[in-house]
Amino acid sequence: MKIPLYSRLIRRVSSLLPLSGLVPPPPKPEGISAMLRVWNEKDWLEDSIISIKDHVDEIVAVDTGSTDGSLEILERLEGKVKGLKVFRMERGSIWESSKFASDRTSFRWLLKWDADFVASADGMDGFAAHLRSLDPRLYYYINPKLIELTGDFGHQLPRMRVRGDIEAFTSSPAAGYVRVDRTYEKDPYPVKMPCGPGSAPYRLSFEGVRLAAYYRITEYDGVVGYHVNVKPAIRHLLGYFYSQWLAEGGRGRLEEYAAEQAAARWGAAGLSQAAEMYMAAYARALSPYDDKLGPLPGNIRALAARSGYRVVYRDGRPVGRVE
């Protein structure tokens, strides 16, 4: 979350209001609640939960209509992982599912965690210790970093090597998830397809956190984990069309929308062919993992060893992927 300097200064002063008694102290007890929204994330779901279970006090997982076995994984883990609570809701917008999950958390810190995020032990240990060290009387918002792995475990998109998708903030009625509409002057998609999403300006709907003025926006330089965007080709395809589907009202099933759009724009005969076409274009946009980001930790190397996904090269350039 990028905040102008003058706004940060105002927030810095306003953040002291709880010390004066003009703002009540944070209402929830000390601890960290992680929340996950889950829809067809079976590939790395269990690894994601296992990677954070020893660093947080509870995990609130909300399944929004998975059909790939994700719910069964959650229900199996619920009896084994201390603090894991599993809920179900009908699939809706991302901000609705985030609000549903956040309303069911119990502790002072709310950590937004996705089912394809996998923490490194050192990274999450340091970040959890940082959260617990902050003044319990004040309200904070922190946006730590993730390293992106996509296509397979040895590649990244050049423009998206490090991401800021994780959010951690003091849980209270004064902070919540809302719809955010953004207008892009240029096509925001990293992978270019013929007959793409539309000409600029392009309007998309996402979620955002609305914070009271007394929330202090702070920095955390450490890397917490990895975004393991290594999924079946159809999941990558649905991700490409997801925001467009939302922007057009989110009516009907995303799969049907994606199939219709791929047929109209690319001449694809069904989701499978559309996914193959998209994955070939996706692979061509990839570049090798940047070694300057550091070696992959042991748990990520273990995932890579068992993964069946591999980017394929021809004449020194990526041209596709096998799975």
Contact in structure between 81 and 16 (CB atoms under 8 Å): no
pLDDT digits (tens, 9 = 90+) for 284-298: 999 999 999 999 999
Least confident window among 63-67, 158-162, 177-181, 246-250: 246-250
CA dist 57 and 34 (Å) reads 8
| Domains in the chain: boundaries | 5-174+212-231
0.75 exceeded by the pTM?
A: yes
Q: Report the first-to-last Cα separation within the chain, whole angstroms.
A: 35
pLDDT digits (tens, 9 = 90+) for 34-67: 999 999 999 999 999 999 999 999 999 999 999 9
How much of the chain, in percent, has pLDDT values that exceed 70? 93
User: pLDDT at position 3, please?
Assistant: 60
Least confident window among 2-6, 33-37, 63-67, 318-322: 2-6
Residues in the chain: 323
CA dist 128 and 214 (Å) reads 22
Q: Which CATH class is domain 5-174+212-231?
A: alpha beta
Q: What band does 183 get if pLDDT is binned at 50, 70 and 90? A: confident
